Amino acid sequence: MRKFYVTTPIYYVNDVPHIGHAYTTVAADVMARYKRLCGYKTFFLTGTDEHGQKVEKAAKGQGMEPRELADRVVVRFKELWEKLNISYDHFVRTTDDYHEKAVQELFKLIQEKGDIYLGEYEGWYCTPCETFWSEGQQLEGNLCPDCGRPTERVKEPSYFFRLSKYQDALLKFYEEHPDFVLPESRMNEIVSFVKMGLKDLSISRTTFKWGIPVPGDPEHVIYVWFDALFNYVSAAGYGWNQERFETFWPADLHIIGKDILRFHAIYWPAFLMSAGLPLPKRVFAHGWWTVEGQKMSKSLRNVVDPHRLMEEYGTDALRYFLLREVPFGLDGDFSHRAMAHRINADLANDLGNLLYRSLTMVLKYFKGQVPQPCAGGGELEELARAVVKDLEDLMDQQAFNRALERTWDLVKGTNKYIDSSAPWALAKEKRKEELATVIYNILEGCRIIALLISPFMPEKAQEMWNQLGVEGDIEKASIEEAAWGGLKPDSQVKKGKPLFPRLDEKAIVEKIERELATSQEPEEEEITIDEFAKMKLVVAQVLRAEKVPKSKKLIKLLVDTGADRRTVVAGIGEHYQPQDLVGKKVVIVTNLKPVKLMGVESRGMILAAAWEDGMKVLEVPSDTPTGAEVR
Ligand code: MSP
């Protein structure tokens, strides 16, 4: 039996699932369902990436242990996958025992092979991306070239993987497997990157603890990407379910976002080469969704919640929209306007109407009983055959939007067939035999369409089958059933509610806009201007600054407020060196009750802007007089 192994990335648990995660997972689900339909023994893997500094930091920020945060977020992912009808076969968590064991074993194996050595890493680290950068790779101001956020200086002992040794082998592999990476343009990027030269890769950290310990050297935890990538083999059964592992490995398709291509197309095959394991057949890097033209971000409050979309439009409409709207591989922009429009045009008008009018006619002319045709399906039959055939190729290239477009040729073709064969005229002229053939063909077109859309819209496809009177579970059907003539004459149709009710596009957009506007109203308690005026804010100049002994965070500042000189203690030690603060003009709250912090009395507070992993003291232009009031 032919097999197919498809994966999604494993999702970080520092964030709750959003439309970007739903996108990758729906695409993988559609592939898995299509391959099952084609008779492949399929293994579909998804899961969560739970180790690393990013997750550790997020947990700390929420006053939790990382494991506790992971346990909570995993539930959120699983709930979403259930609602979205994701038919995964296995959910891996990198904190699962079998995974941790496999990663340690593979680490040892690669080490014994001589591809891991102990050295010292000196460079920069971007925690949000969990990526090491050298001086030259960074953007000016020590910013991560991928996400633009500040990196941190790292200097620590580290184990290295001899990535440089695999440069030639990788280039040879790409040459021999030109569609290892799709889309093609991404393959070219990878080849140029590798040609520029590969440096050995740091694969352990010592400055935090949340990770899998390096075997034999527990001061080090294994770099989160080394840990995470091996989920694809550990979850398939490496080291604990050999039979499954041998059945499914190598993976046929890793679906990922373009931002994590380098890890999958360079590091991953190199690790596998070193471990002596076969390489995956394909990595497909899809594009990114923006929202109404902007990058999705918590601070812009524009993160699209898939639950809300399903509530408004339905699960299958969301699945359809995600894969139809944007060619897989390109970036796309999400808007409610586009979504409502797409649903109306393709699903309510083209598909929903087709089924509705077909069933109305069979009820009217044949009391709902599928008639016996007196001839074949002619051009419609040929079109159906051609569409089924073309889908094979399109799905093998993950060209989901084109596969749907091609399926819609059959939807539109069947609609046209109704118009051109005009069953109402045949009925009027009492041409019973021709009428029977035409109605049969229309219903047969609908049945085949249901089968073809079933990987994309499993619930609606089933509903179509039920309404057409086809028995059985469409999920268990086989592509062979797409052969013309499968619909049984004499079976009884069961017309139900319209598949996709027409949406009032304008009303939806207005409703969502209203929702967004109200959700952006501040939740905090409001204060009056008099309350604000109670606070005395002045411009002060920093005269001296020093670390508070034994504290990582606290800096003791001597400031001139214009009226006096006083000591203020600020929790900014993780973001500033004391000497960098001297001379700055800053804003101080001068009428706060004094407090003692680590034995030092603080008389006032310095204002600073703070975000998840950064902080900047508010500075005032240097020509502002000390003591000036801030209002
Ligand atoms: N944990 C790593 C993957 C390890 S795989 C061995 C990771 N996780 S993630 O949660 O940050 O991202 C998972 C996937 O979501 C990535 O493929 C990423 O491209 C995708 N998306 C996140 N935001 C997205 C959009 N706005 N649009 C489309 N996909 C996006 O990376």
Count other Cβ atoms within 10 Å, centred on residue 92: 23
- Cis amide bond preceding 183, omega within 30: yes
Q: How far is CA 505 from CA 9, 171, 302, 312, 434, in A?
A: 34, 50, 20, 12, 40
Residue by residue, DSSP assigns 395-427 as HHTT-HHHHHHHHHHHHHHHHHHHHHH-HHHHH
Q: Tell me the residue type at 606.
A: I
* 465 Cβ closer than 6 Å to some ligand 1 atom: no
* Contact of 77 with 9, CB cutoff 8 Å: no
* Nearest of 497, 459, 508, 453 to residue 479 by alpha carbon: 453
From ligand 1's centre to the CA of 22, what distance in Å?
10
Q: What atom in ligand 1 is closest to the CA of residue 259?
A: 19
* 257 Cβ closer than 6 Å to some ligand 1 atom: yes
Please compute, for residue 421, the number of CA atoms within 13 A of its CA located in the half-sphere on the CB side: 24
Domain layout of the chain by residue ranges:
334-482, 529-630
Distance in angstroms (rounded) separating the CA atoms of residues 3 and 36: 9
The tokens of 223 are what? 């770099």
pLDDT of residue 525: 61
Query: What pTM did the predictor assign?
Result: 0.83
SS3 30: helix
* Long-range Cβ pairs for the range 426-430 (8 Å, 24+): 427/364, 427/365
The tokens of 169 are what? 């082998």
* 292 Cβ closer than 6 Å to some ligand 1 atom: no
Ligand 1 pocket test, pick from 76, 81, 256 with the greatest ligand atom count within 8 Å of Cβ, gives: 256
Distance in angstroms (rounded) separating the CA atoms of residues 459 and 539: 64
* Long-range Cβ pairs for the range 353-357 (8 Å, 24+): 353/415, 354/411, 354/414, 354/415, 354/418, 354/446, 354/449, 355/446, 355/464, 355/467, 355/468, 355/499, 356/495, 356/498, 356/499, 357/418
The tokens of 94 are what? 């990198």
CATH no. for 334-482: 1.10.730.10
Q: What atom in ligand 1 is closest to the CA of residue 229?
A: 6
Q: Tell me the residue type at 292.
A: E
Q: Which residues contact 273 (CB under 8 A, 6 or more apart)?
A: 166, 169, 170, 173, 279
Q: What atom in ligand 1 is closest to the CA of residue 289?
A: 27
514 burial type by CB count under 10 A (0-12 exposed, 13-18 middle, 19+ buried): exposed
Distance in angstroms (rounded) separating the CA atoms of residues 70 and 68: 5
pLDDT of residue 519: 65
SS3 515: helix
From ligand 1's centre to the CA of 11, what distance in Å?
7
Question: Beta strand 213-214 with 217-222: parallel, antiparallel or unpaired?
Answer: antiparallel
From ligand 1's centre to the CA of 288, what distance in Å?
9
* 229 Cβ closer than 6 Å to some ligand 1 atom: yes
* 259 Cβ closer than 6 Å to some ligand 1 atom: yes
* 45 Cβ closer than 6 Å to some ligand 1 atom: no
From ligand 1's centre to the CA of 9, what distance in Å?
7
Q: What atom in ligand 1 is closest to the CA of residue 255?
A: 17
Distance in angstroms (rounded) separating the CA atoms of residues 603 and 408: 71
Alpha helix segments (H runs only) across 19-137: 19-37, 53-61, 66-83, 97-112
* Contact of 464 with 355, CB cutoff 8 Å: yes
146 burial type by CB count under 10 A (0-12 exposed, 13-18 middle, 19+ buried): middle
Question: Beta strand 283-286 with 181-182: parallel, antiparallel or unpaired?
Answer: parallel
Q: What residue's CA is closest to ligand 1, atom 25?
A: 20
SS3 312: helix
From ligand 1's centre to the CA of 215, what distance in Å?
29
Backbone angles phi, psi at 526, to 5 degrees: -85, 150
Ligand 1 pocket test, pick from 21, 253, 286 with the greatest ligand atom count within 8 Å of Cβ, gives: 21
As beta bridge partners, residue 511 has: none
As beta bridge partners, residue 629 has: 538
Average pLDDT of adjacent 10-residue blocks, the chain of 631 residues: 96 93 98 98 98 94 93 97 98 98 98 97 90 86 87 92 98 98 97 96 94 97 97 98 98 97 98 98 97 79 89 97 97 94 97 98 97 96 98 98 98 98 97 97 98 98 98 97 97 95 91 75 65 90 91 90 93 90 94 86 91 86 93 89
In sign, the C-alpha dihedral spanning 391, 394, 398, 404 is negative
From ligand 1's centre to the CA of 259, what distance in Å?
7
CATH no. for 529-630: 2.40.50.140
* 50 Cβ closer than 6 Å to some ligand 1 atom: no
* Contact of 80 with 307, CB cutoff 8 Å: yes
Q: What atom in ligand 1 is closest to the CA of residue 232?
A: 6
Distance in angstroms (rounded) separating the CA atoms of residues 304 and 307: 9
